[in-house]
């Protein structure tokens, strides 16, 4: 049977499958004005005395703290909750947070959820049921139109690869237009230290005041763009009140099942939970700028590159005079990035990069794009650190908490410039984030916050948690062979090949490096 004949058999099935109208009717809406104080304002009373134009900030480096902050904002919001995410998982933490959102909507809070469609198609019915609540609206960013299964989606991608190859990677959680969380975390167990196989080491920043208003403006641009399609068009038949009641009952039962778990006890006993409960959340202050790609990046070309977030971020990083610290879990700098970083190092700037080792990388194929640039970076004076997938410290942490995993992967995306300026966001330093995905982040002028994150960087990049990567014969030697050095039981341990990996994994990643056009897609 010919391929052409098979195609003609499949096409009628695809034509009959469930579709989503990209032009489904929608109404514009914007962030609710910060017209009067709410309970969210009361959580951050010190922010009321911030210098004019400055915002209050709280770093969220711990997964438990990051969950607690989101849950408290959802539980406290009186007017609005706006969420913008690449991914929201239907796992334990995802269901707990959705339960908080539904409870907020039940008390009259307007909830807007903007979700990238890359992983959402399998949850169409659940999304449509949530969207049917009178106070919840869900929109899908740059969605697949054919939604009946993997075959239909694959066919859709073949026809619309130029559009569907661009994704919304932004992460934002805003309450009452006054407080916002921006950073690297999606919504899911691995981002909040509950996954049993592997958890992400990540970083968010909670911002209160003018920075939150600017972030809400960015959300509105996406929400009202032509790429944000209402989930109301997902099902042929609108969900009923019984459907939403069934979801509510399921979420309540799920919360009750977890009530006596070690994880929920950790949430309740965390220091940041006590701060929220006493309305005395500790904040640092500074001026901030929200950097975000425009939603039109979906159809942007190379000629539009000057408008990309990365260009503005590189301008600030290029101004470093003493030190530049970079954390990027997926690090594929390309020739342009290598030239920029080694030029800074040549000017006397201490340039250090923390990324994942091959064993710690949850997307191994990305490592093939990174590996080819290591020798050039090291010869140019850049310091490379690769996070270890496990260590004695991470194992003891897991044993102490009685939940989570001893295996970790870096997911934090930040820059520290001269220990004065800090950038925290969703962008990886790889071609996909730079050129194809939309991203968001916050640039903060605060020596106190920058110093805090610099200390986190030093801790994470220390040889007890990461490998120092060096050239075997030094920067002046002829060989590109690498050495990985870690510290265990008080002494250095050296490796001459990718640590904690099998020969097969190393071979597969090496082979992947020869795939045409791979680097532009990772």
Pair 111, 135: CB distance under 8 Å: yes
Q: 179-183 and 204-208: which strand pairing?
A: antiparallel
Distance CA(147)–CA(124), nearest Å, equals 8
Report the SS3 class of residue 379: helix
Give yes or no: 413 in active site: yes
Active-site entry in 133, 297, 367, 411 = 411
Q: Where do the DSSP E strands lie in 122-177? A: 136-141, 172-175
Give yes or no: 411 in active site: yes
Distance CA(343)–CA(331), nearest Å, equals 18
Give yes or no: 418 in active site: yes
Active-site entry in 82, 413, 430, 468 = 413
Question: What are the residues facing 411 on neighbouring strands?
Answer: none
Active-site entry in 133, 166, 169, 297 = 169
The phi-psi region of residue 209 (left if phi > 0; otherwise alpha if psi is between -120 and 50; otherwise beta) is left
Pair 175, 80: CB distance under 8 Å: yes
Active-site entry in 171, 297, 367, 385 = 171
Give yes or no: 176 in active site: yes
Q: Which residue in the block uniquely carries the two structure tokens 């850049």?
A: 382
Distance CA(64)–CA(398), nearest Å, equals 13
Q: How many other CB atoms sit within 10 Å of the CB of residue 410?
A: 30
Three state DSSP letters for 399-454: HHHCCCCCCEEECCCEEEECCCEEEEECCCECHHHHHHCECEEEEEECHHHHHHHH
Active-site entry in 418, 445, 480, 500 = 418
Active-site entry in 34, 124, 176, 202 = 176
> Mind telling me the catalytic residues?
169, 171, 176, 411, 413, 418
């Amino acid at each position: 049977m010919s391929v052409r004949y098979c195609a003609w058999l499949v096409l009628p099935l695809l034509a009959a499958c469930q579709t989503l109208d990209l032009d489904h009717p929608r109404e514009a809406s914007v962030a609710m004005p910060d017209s009067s104080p709410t309970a969210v304002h009361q959580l951050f009373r010190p922010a009321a005395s911030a210098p004019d134009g400055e915002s209050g900030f709280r770093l969220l480096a711990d997964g438990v703290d990051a969950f607690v902050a989101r849950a408290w904002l959802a539980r406290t919001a009186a007017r609005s909750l706006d969420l913008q995410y690449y991914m929201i998982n239907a796992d334990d933490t995802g269901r707990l947070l959705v339960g908080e959102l539904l409870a907020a909507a039940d008390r009259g809070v307007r909830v807007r959820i903007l979700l990238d469609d890359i992983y959402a198609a399998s949850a169409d019915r659940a999304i449509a049921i949530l969207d049917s609540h009178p106070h919840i609206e869900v929109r899908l960013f740059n969605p697949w139109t054919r939604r009946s299964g993997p075959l239909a989606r694959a066919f859709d991608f073949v026809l619309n690869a130029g559009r569907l190859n661009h994704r919304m990677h932004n992460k934002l959680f805003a309450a009452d237009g006054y407080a916002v969380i921006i950073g690297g975390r999606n919504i899911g167990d691995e981002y909040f230290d509950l996954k049993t196989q592997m958890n992400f080491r990540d970083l968010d920043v909670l911002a209160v005041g003018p920075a939150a208003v600017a972030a809400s403006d960015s959300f509105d641009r996406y929400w009202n763009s032509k790429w944000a399609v209402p989930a109301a068009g997902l099902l042929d038949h609108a969900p009923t009140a019984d459907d939403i009641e069934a979801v509510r009952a399921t979420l309540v039962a799920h919360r009750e099942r977890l009530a006596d778990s070690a994880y929920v006890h950790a949430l309740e006993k965390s220091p940041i939970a006590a701060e929220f409960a006493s309305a005395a959340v500790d904040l640092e202050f500074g001026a901030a700028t929200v950097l975000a790609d425009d939603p039109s990046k979906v159809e942007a070309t190379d000629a539009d590159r000057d408008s990309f977030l990365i260009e503005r971020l590189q301008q600030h990083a290029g101004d470093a005079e003493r030190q530049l610290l970079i954390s990027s879990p997926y690090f594929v700098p390309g020739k342009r990035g290598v030239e920029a970083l080694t030029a800074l190092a040549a000017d006397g700037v201490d340039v250090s990069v923390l990324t994942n080792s091959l064993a710690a990388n949850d997307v191994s194929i990305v490592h093939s794009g990174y590996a080819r640039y290591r020798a050039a970076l090291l010869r140019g004076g850049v310091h490379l650190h690769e996070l270890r997938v496990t260590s004695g410290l991470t194992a003891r942490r897991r044993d102490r908490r009685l939940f989570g995993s001893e295996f970790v992967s870096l997911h934090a995306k930040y820059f520290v410039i001269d220990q004065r300026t800090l950038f925290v966001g969703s962008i990886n330093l790889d071609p996909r984030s730079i050129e194809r995905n939309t991203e968001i982040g916050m640039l903060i002028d605060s020596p106190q916050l920058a110093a805090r994150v610099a200390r986190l960087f030093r801790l994470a990049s220390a040889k007890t948690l990461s490998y120092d990567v060096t050239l075997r014969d030094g920067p002046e030697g002829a060989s590109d062979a690498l050495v990985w050095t870690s510290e265990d039981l008080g002494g250095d341990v050296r490796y001459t090949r990718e640590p904690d990996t099998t020969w097969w994994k190393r071979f597969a990643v090496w082979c992947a490096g020869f795939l045409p056009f791979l680097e532009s897609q990772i």
